[in-house]
Amino acid sequence: MEYTVGSIAPIFLSPVIAFVINAFFGRKLPRQGDWLATLSIFISFIFSARIFGDFVFGQFATDFFIHKTFTWFDLSHGSQIWKVDMGIYLDNMSAIMLLMVSGVAFLIHLFSTWYMDHDEKHGRFFVFLPLFTSAMLGLVLSDNLFSLFIFWEIMGFCSYSLIGIYNKKEKAGDASLKAFMTTRVGDVFLLLGIVALWMLLGSVNYVDIYAAIAEGKFDGQSVLGISFATFAALCIFLGAMGKSAQFPLHVWLPDAMMGPTPGSALIHAATMVTAGVWVSLRMYPLMVLGDITWFIAVIGAITAFGAATIATVQTDIKAVLAYSTLSQLGYMIIGVGVGSYNAAFMHVITHACFKACLFLSAGSIIHSVHEQEMPKLGGLRKYLPYTHFAMMACTLAIAGIPFFSGFVSKDRILGDALYYGFMSGQNPLLAIVPILGFAGAGLTAFYMFRMMFLTFYGENKQHHDNHGHGHGHHDAKGHKSHGHDIHHEHLDVRQNVPLLILAVFTLGFWFSGTLTGQSFGNLFGAKTEWFKILVEAPQVEKFVNHKREDFSKMDTREQSHLEHAHYHHQTGYAGPNPDEHKLHSAHTIGAIASIFIAFAGVLLAFLMYIKKSVNPWATRFPGLTKVLQNKYGFDDFYIDVLIKKGLLGLNRGLAWIDMGIYDRYVVDGAAAVNRVMYKVAKWFDNVVIDAIGVDGTGVAVNLFNLVLRIVQSGKIQFYFIMLVMVLASYIWTLNF
Amino acid sequence: MFIQLLFASSATLTVGCALGVLATKNLMHSCIFLLGSLMGVAGLFATLGADFVAVTQIMVYMGGVVILMLFAVMLTGGKDFISRAQNLLGLPSSMGNKWTYSVGGLVGLVLLLTNIRLISNVMNSHAPKVIGDEYPSTVSQIGHLLVKDHVLAFEISSVLLLGALVGAAIIARPRKQK
Amino acid sequence: MNQTVVSYLSQYEFYDTLLALFKNNQGALAFTIYLLLSLAIVGMCATIGGLGTYAERKISADLQARIGPNRVGPYGLLQMLADGVKMMTKEDIMPFTADKMLFYLAPLLCLTGVFATLAVLPFSGGFIMADLNVGIFYLVAISSLVGVGVFLGGYASNSKWSMLGGMRGASQIISYEIPVTISILAITLLSGGMSFGTIVGHQGGLPHEWFIFHNPFSFLAFFVYGVGALAETNRAPFDLPEAESELVSGYHTEYTGMRFGFFALAEYIEVFVVCGVAASLFLGGYQVPGISLDILPIQAVQFVIFMTKTLLLYYVVIWIRWTFPRLRVDQLMAVCWKYLTPIAIFNLVGCAIWTVAFNGKSIAELIFGGGH
Amino acid sequence: MMSLGSYLIISLILFVIGLVVMLSRKNIVAILLGIELILNAAALNFVAYSRYVTNNLDGHIFSLFIIVVAAAEAAVGLAIVIRFFQIKETIHIDEATQLRN
């Protein structure tokens, strides 16, 4: 196998070229260049598929990686290294991620060509979409934190543009600003972490960081009183929190649905939000070294549960999906925190597939019905059969029903969390992680089926309600909604094929490699449990003697030179090696519990919304519903408390100090002293100063003025003459 | 022999044209003399083996600075010339009069003497080296130096140029007359 | 070290006999060689410039279905001699209000700027006056003297038409220098050197080895260079400085006789130089297909090949002149700043990325294999 | 004939002439001409020292930067001159004394 840069670079470059062409000449192209963007992503997909095939189907061993790099600039001085390299780092994880990103992005592009047809923002949308995808692909390919940060910021900009693409709507503008500013908080920390690492190590290459961890370069280093590794890991994780919308910084993601639905699909599924998980996975050894995995797990658990509760009361179909994204991201972060490295990554992939499909289905509904408030929908099953099929498959997957992908990945995370919380001898308070995780899983099943039942089942309210179309219609389409009829679905390739393809990948056996988890029903050509075998936490010791490869050199290592590693239950805990038996029993318990919880959630939803035998929560717990509908008041908190109370309060406090203390005591007191002094001073003034001082000064100034007036002529040449003369006299008085 | 010839002619051109800049009363001629003087300096660079610097000098000064100055001279003629010619405001002529020349000459003389003192010191302390006739190519070395040792200065100067470009465009852009 | 024609000739044996003829005085011999060669080149180029006027008339006549000059000599070939004689014998008129010094200087500056570029033009492997390390950079730099000449010609005449023409000419020349220089920079990036020897040496004799077909960006760069060079030489459709219908004849309105001839000669030779540069930068220059020997007779073949390519381009330039209408001033600047410069910068970046990504290989090498 | 001394003397002459031009002219453009001469004298010195004393190319780099700075200075300076002329209708240096009061 040979890998040149030329066989990898097109993955990233072809969408960039499409972006450039669309940005400058898009208006002149037929269909405003959407076919070009789609084609470019397809090219990326082809190249990614080749790499995926080589890496996964036995070409390379588990720990194989390709690292090509060149020095961008080098400020090294003496023994201190300060350099920035740029390059490509490819391992099994990137190969899988590349295929997922390019594949999902391609389907989303294809769907968008249908969805954005006749939209006034059609061209602009297809300028940013390929750039967004290319930034994510570049982020996956990059071999160092610095270029990762560059792509990270490009994605931030693109999400800003995509969310606010309907720039005439004030809400969209607000949402885009909110997304930009909230992620910026995280980005500042990420940059801080990168700079800190650069300062210590002189390089921010992954391999250099791994090698430094293995060599113990972090030992004994501290900054601001805490260990350096903790500081750097915390900063980088805070950056990841911003991008992956974790608990305190999550407020931007639900608002991000202001953009067109395919754009949300791209933001929520394949690209932007997974970038945070991606960087946490890449920097996992640093997180372990910095001992912040418990923090990560807790943040993930809070997000997973909190978002799930909010999702249960949302009425906007896209809002439900947005909060479910938050919740699922929480699971990924739990996975990172509890050390189930490959399950967290697997959840990234499975989630990307079913969440993209869910969003595209929602887009299909919105585009057909021009309505996205669930209470106004219902009974769409017979109008949108393909959409119903795809969305049902995805809902089963996300709810964690067995044989679907969500079960495979989420169950593993939950099993590891169970072990982490109860059996690994950690702090007993950390039991909150599995508890919140399981509760969230149940809620997930509940709210997803609630959405399904409200949307596709029951009676159709569209025929009776002709007036409610205009409002609540967040996706301002270019054309007016007709208001009297649902478009019957016919098999439009661009609408339904992406949905159906993605729906196929909600089956669990693609990811677990087998249908049942045993050697029965193997996926053709792949290994059993290929995901577990191929993805493992980076073993930092390997990188100590790693030699960098020249950027332009061809990589021609043969398969025969490497042996396949065998799968161990090595899950990379921070603590002592996990007890194999305990872990296994934890997984068994977790699987049974999560199946039970999932079905309980489905049943509850069924009883509430189909049988109507249980009152919906809204009538039962109005107070709680109110809280949830306010999203725990985070938005209000940020605006009212943090900005209004916090900043304004600070201002008021400062004003009080100024007016109350300074004015009253210092100024007034000084006035009293002054009054006494005044009497003394008056005499002194009249006699001493006026007579001698002032008049004398006047005379002196007058004299001095005569000289200065000549010097300060305002004529630049005169100044120059003075300068030259001073210089000359200086030289003449020197003796050398 | 060529080098000597080139040196002699370049030095003559440099000094002669510089004197021309000083002597002429016509600003346009002054600019052209400056052009000649800068060409001479480029020739001197060439005799020092600095081929890249010499060509850059020609490129920047002839292709840019001098044409820019010619444009500036043309754009800033106007009424000024008439009023100056008749000395309406009582200020010295735009190209100087005998007073400004004598002041300038005096200061120049002082600086000349000062610098001769400096140079004589330098020449006494540094014994003149014997330099061979070879002129190795400097282009690739300068390229390496620019992106390695002097990369910071290189980047700063590029930012400076960008700033100058934008600043010049903003300062000189035509404004709406009231 | 800088390669020159003398150092090229010194590898042959007859150089030693020549040296003996000059009593082993290296300098004197080199001086003689340079003198003879520069006389030859200047004479040749002057002839080409003269023939240029003839070609222009004849080709334009052909394009407009006329006959063109046919009285003087066979096919009117001696027309240029007649023109020359006419110019030399005309009265040399100096406008009363002209700035005399600059009026004399301007045509000379134009002519100097053009003739100085001939020193680095690679007529063949050995027949190049001085293959400077900074060759192409020197050529670009020194040819900006023409802009000063044009400007001064316009200013010194002290007439409205001349002034407008001169201003237009100078601004046009310094503006179009930017895309031209940037597209040349893309080629130096590919060849890794600024000397003509290096640039031509990196190409081969056959079209797929030329830099124009090296990659998509250099293909675009050729056209950017072509358009920019047309504008820099004030050729139609960019001949605003001497637009007959607007400005009488622009910056050389007030010139007569041989001074006018200098301007015209400078323009025609500059077109030749620009075509030569395009030929050697993009079209393989003097490279002979399939022959890598370096013997003296090959030089003649190389010379013929170079001249063929250059004169073909020359024909294209004249063809364009008589085909396209003239641009407006605002269109002229828009073409330069809004289209050519961004495209040229895009080309430069693209060439850089191509060089890194494909290790400097051309498309042909990537497809057929081979190369370094 | 060619030695460090001769280059220094040429550069000195250039410098002094530039200075005198700067001081004796009252036209801002003419003063800029003088500045160009002075900058060139400095660049010449750098390159001469680079060849005869230090034997490395740092002097060349320095003179390149001088050329860069001179170009930037000319661009901005002439822009200011043109703006000044638009306001005052003159480029006499003695008119540019607004900051005096």
Interface test with C, best of B67, B71, B133 (most C CBs within 10 A): B67
| pLDDT at res. A490 | 62
CATH number at D75 reads 1.10.287.3510
* Whether the predicted interface score ipTM is above 0.90: no
Over residues A279-314, the pLDDT tens digits come to 988 888 888 888 888 888 888 888 888 888 888 888
Interface of B with D in 18-37 (CB under 8 A): 18-19, 21-22, 27, 30-31, 34, 37
| pLDDT at res. B12 | 92
Interface of D with B in 33-52 (CB under 8 A): 33-34, 36-37, 40, 43-44, 47-48, 50-52
Encode A606-646 in three state secondary structure.
Answer: HHHHHHCCCCCHHHHCHHHHHHHHCHHHHHHHHHHHHHHHH
Over residues C211-265, the pLDDT tens digits come to 888 888 888 889 999 999 888 888 878 777 776 666 767 777 778 778 888 888 8
Placement of tokens 């043969």 in the chain: A558
Q: Is residue A81 within 8 Å of residue A202, measured between CB atoms? A: yes
Chain B contact set for C145 (CB, 8 A) = 62
Distance CA D85, CA B75 (A): 9
Nearest-Cα distance to chain A for C355, in Å, is 10
Interface of A with B in 697-726 (CB under 8 A): 721, 724-725
pLDDT beyond 80 at A184? yes
A and B touch per CB criterion (3+ pairs under 8 A): yes
Nearest-Cα distance to chain B for A213, in Å, is 29
Beta bridge partners, A65, equal A91
| pLDDT at res. A485 | 53
| pLDDT at res. C85 | 85
Contact A731 B148 (CB under 8 A): no
How many distinct helices (H) and strands (E) make up chain A? 29, 5
Nearest-Cα distance to chain A for B160, in Å, is 20
Interface test with D, best of A708, A716, A722 (most D CBs within 10 A): A716
Q: Does B76 touch chain D (CB under 8 A)?
A: yes
Return phi, psi of residue C284, to 5°.
80, -5
Instruction: Chain B: list its partners (3+ Cβ pairs within 8 Å).
Output: A, C, D
Instruction: Chain C: list its partners (3+ Cβ pairs within 8 Å).
Output: A, B
**Mean pLDDT on A572-589:** 60
Q: Is residue C196 within 8 Å of residue C282, measured between CB atoms? A: no
Contact D18 B123 (CB under 8 A): no
Chain D contact set for B153 (CB, 8 A) = 61, 65
Listed range (A177-191, A398-412, A500-514, B46-60) with the worst mean pLDDT: A500-514
Nearest Cα residue in chain B from A74: B148
Contact A73 B114 (CB under 8 A): no
Contacts of A86 (CB under 8 A, 6+ apart): A69, A70, A72, A142, A143, A144, A146, A147
Beta bridge partners, A68, equal A88, A549
C37: how many CB neighbours lie within 10 A of its CB? 18
**Mean pLDDT on A478-497:** 59
**Mean pLDDT on A583-588:** 75
| pLDDT at res. D41 | 92
Q: Does B137 touch chain C (CB under 8 A)?
A: yes
Question: Residue A491: which pLDDT band, with cuts at 50, 70 and 90?
Answer: low
- Kindly report the average pLDDT of chain A as a whole number: 77
Calculate Rg over the CA atoms of chain B: 21
Contact A712 D100 (CB under 8 A): yes
Q: Is residue C347 within 8 Å of residue C182, measured between CB atoms? A: yes
B and C touch per CB criterion (3+ pairs under 8 A): yes
Beta bridge partners, A222, equal A227
pLDDT beyond 70 at A353? yes
pLDDT beyond 50 at A561? no
Distance CA A630, CA A643 (A): 18
**End-to-end alpha-carbon separation of chain A, Å?**
71
Q: Which of A139-153, A592-606, A661-675, C31-45 has the highest mean pLDDT?
A: A139-153
Chain A contact set for C358 (CB, 8 A) = 5-6
Sort C90 into a burial class: Cβ within 10 Å, 0-12 / 13-18 / 19+. middle
CA distances from D11 to B18, B46, D74 (A): 11, 15, 21
Question: Residue A574: which pLDDT band, with cuts at 50, 70 and 90?
Answer: very low
Distance CA A8, CA C150 (A): 52
Nearest alpha-carbon partner for C194 in A311, A657, B55: B55
Question: Residue D39: which pLDDT band, with cuts at 50, 70 and 90?
Answer: very high
For residue C137 the two structure tokens come to 């950079």
The per-residue b/e assignment along A291-313, b for 16 or more CB within 10 angstroms, e otherwise, is ebbbbbbbbbbbbbbbbbbbbbb
Chain A contact set for D96 (CB, 8 A) = 716
Q: Is residue B131 within 8 Å of residue D4, measured between CB atoms? A: no
Distance CA C358, CA C370 (A): 13
Nearest-Cα distance to chain D for A711, in Å, is 11
A and D touch per CB criterion (3+ pairs under 8 A): yes
Peptide bond between residue C237 and the one before it cis (omega within 30 degrees of 0): yes
Distance CA C239, CA B16 (A): 36
Question: What is the CATH architecture of B2-96?
Answer: Up-down Bundle (1.20)
A127: how many CB neighbours lie within 10 A of its CB? 24
Nearest alpha-carbon partner for A498 in A606, A402, A354, A383: A354
Nearest alpha-carbon partner for C227 in C282, C283, C166, C274: C274
Over residues A102-142, the pLDDT tens digits come to 988 898 888 888 888 777 788 888 888 889 999 999 999 88
Return phi, psi of residue A514, to 5°.
-130, 165
Amino acid found at C142: I
Residues of D with CB under 8 A from a CB of A: 19, 22-23, 31, 93-94, 96-97, 99-100
More confident residue, C125 or A519: C125
| pLDDT at res. B15 | 92
Nearest-Cα distance to chain A for D94, in Å, is 6
Chain B contact set for C137 (CB, 8 A) = 52, 55-56, 59
| pLDDT at res. C103 | 86
Q: Indicate the helix (H) or strand (E) that contains D86.
A: helix D58-88
DSSP C327: P
Rounded mean pLDDT for each run of 10 residues along chain B, 178 residues in total: 84 91 84 90 88 89 86 71 55 70 85 82 64 73 84 88 88 70
Contact B107 A724 (CB under 8 A): yes
- Kindly report the average pLDDT of chain C as a whole number: 83
Placement of tokens 């170079």 in the chain: C306
Q: What long-range pairs does A562-569 form, CB within 8 A, spacing at least 24?
A: A562/A60, A562/A61, A562/A64, A563/A61, A564/A58, A564/A61, A564/A62, A565/A61, A565/A62, A565/A63, A565/A533, A566/A533, A567/A529, A567/A532, A567/A533
The per-residue b/e assignment along A469-500, b for 16 or more CB within 10 angstroms, e otherwise, is beeeebbebeeeeeeeebeebeeeebbbbbbb
pLDDT beyond 50 at A483? no
Distance CA A472, CA A482 (A): 15
For residue D20 the two structure tokens come to 């005198």
Nearest alpha-carbon partner for A180 in A196, A163, A193: A163
Q: Does A730 touch chain B (CB under 8 A)?
A: no
> For chain C, what are the domain ranges?
90-368
Placement of tokens 């030259």 in the chain: A724
Question: Residue A571: which pLDDT band, with cuts at 50, 70 and 90?
Answer: very low
| pLDDT at res. A267 | 81
Q: Does B104 touch chain C (CB under 8 A)?
A: no
Question: Residue A635: which pLDDT band, with cuts at 50, 70 and 90?
Answer: low
Question: Residue D43: which pLDDT band, with cuts at 50, 70 and 90?
Answer: very high
pLDDT > 70: what percent of chain D?
Answer: 94
B124: how many CB neighbours lie within 10 A of its CB? 8
Over residues A199-241, the pLDDT tens digits come to 888 888 888 888 888 888 887 777 777 888 888 888 899 888 8
**End-to-end alpha-carbon separation of chain C, Å?**
24
Number of structural domains found in chain D: 1
| pLDDT at res. B81 | 56
DSSP string, A71-102: EEEE--BTTB--EEEEEEEEEHHHHHHHHHHH
| pLDDT at res. A576 | 42
> For chain A, what are the domain ranges?
300-465+486-512+584-629, 636-733
| pLDDT at res. A528 | 59
Q: Does B3 touch chain C (CB under 8 A)?
A: no
pTM, entire model: 0.60
If DSSP codes are grouped into helix, strand and coil, which group holds residue A469?
Answer: coil
The per-residue b/e assignment along A437-456, b for 16 or more CB within 10 angstroms, e otherwise, is bbbbbbbbbbbbbbbbbbbb
Nearest-Cα distance to chain D for A198, in Å, is 29
More confident residue, A369 or A561: A369
DSSP string, A380-415: GGGT-HHHHHHHHHHHHHHHT-TTBHHHHHHHHHHH
| pLDDT at res. A527 | 54
Contact C194 B139 (CB under 8 A): yes
Chain D contact set for B90 (CB, 8 A) = none
pLDDT beyond 50 at C312? yes
Q: Is residue A83 within 8 Å of residue A199, measured between CB atoms? A: no
Chain B contact set for C155 (CB, 8 A) = 28, 70, 74
Chain C contact set for B135 (CB, 8 A) = 1-2
Nearest Cα residue in chain D from A712: D100
A682: how many CB neighbours lie within 10 A of its CB? 10
If DSSP codes are grouped into helix, strand and coil, which group holds residue C130?
Answer: strand
Return phi, psi of residue A379, to 5°.
65, 30
